[in-house]
Amino acid sequence: MKRSIIDTANLELEDKVVTIKRVTKVVKGGRNMRFSALVVVGDKKGHVGAGLGKAAEIPEAIRKGKEAAMKHMIELPLDENGSVPHDYIGKFGSATVLMKRSPEGTGIIAGGPVRNVLELAGFKNIRTKSLGSNNKQNVVLATIAGLSELKTPEQVAAARGISIDELKA
């Protein structure tokens, strides 16, 4: 997955907590309880990231997850009607997320973890189907992996060495 460093200082970011889990480590003195928070951060204009934070208290885990998400932000291509430029399948582990172009007025058709990512990324019309694992962390990471691989028609035309008119023909 290619990631470019994005300056998050001038972005108006929103965050959503996808899941909070209580995790336990068994040590010599008993059980060590902590919390793990999966957080998605985006500006609804084509930037989105996800991060995992762990801490003894829930607010601290959410803060750490938000910081991790801001470090791992990606920039996405949005087309003129707020959809993906082309259909794509994102994979992470055994989780697979199918993303399809949609016309104006479709809205976001997606399950819980995928919906959180797409809303914060700024998509308005998109259809998705989550396949394989339904582990929330892997589904979120599969969505982001798929979104990071999307290419604009301009990028495809440049890679092939043809004009955009030839590409559409």
The pLDDT tens digits along the chain (169 residues) read 455 566 666 678 999 999 999 999 999 999 999 999 999 999 999 999 999 999 999 999 999 999 999 999 999 988 888 889 989 999 999 999 999 999 999 999 999 899 999 999 999 999 999 999 999 999 999 999 999 999 888 888 889 888 888 877 6
The CATH number linked to 120 is 3.30.230.10
User: Is residue 6, in this structure, part of any structural domain at all?
Assistant: no
User: Is residue 45, in this structure, part of any structural domain at all?
Assistant: yes
User: Is residue 2, in this structure, part of any structural domain at all?
Assistant: no
49 and 108 in a single domain? The answer is no
Domain extent for 21 = 14-74
User: Is residue 56, in this structure, part of any structural domain at all?
Assistant: yes
Domain boundary among 74, 92, 122: 74
- DSSP-assigned letter for residue 163: -
Question: What pLDDT is attached to residue 9?
Answer: 67
Question: What pLDDT is attached to residue 8?
Answer: 67
User: Is residue 3, in this structure, part of any structural domain at all?
Assistant: no
Query: Which residues does 20 contact at the CB level (< 8 Å), separation at least 6?
Result: 35, 36, 37, 38, 58, 61, 62
Q: For helices 136-148 and 112-121, what crossing angle results, to 10°?
A: 40
What is the signed CA dihedral for 83, 88, 89, 92, rounded to 10 degrees? Answer: -80
47 and 81 in a single domain? The answer is no
pTM (two decimals) = 0.89
Q: How many separate domains does the chain show? A: 2
Strand, helix or coil for residue 35: strand
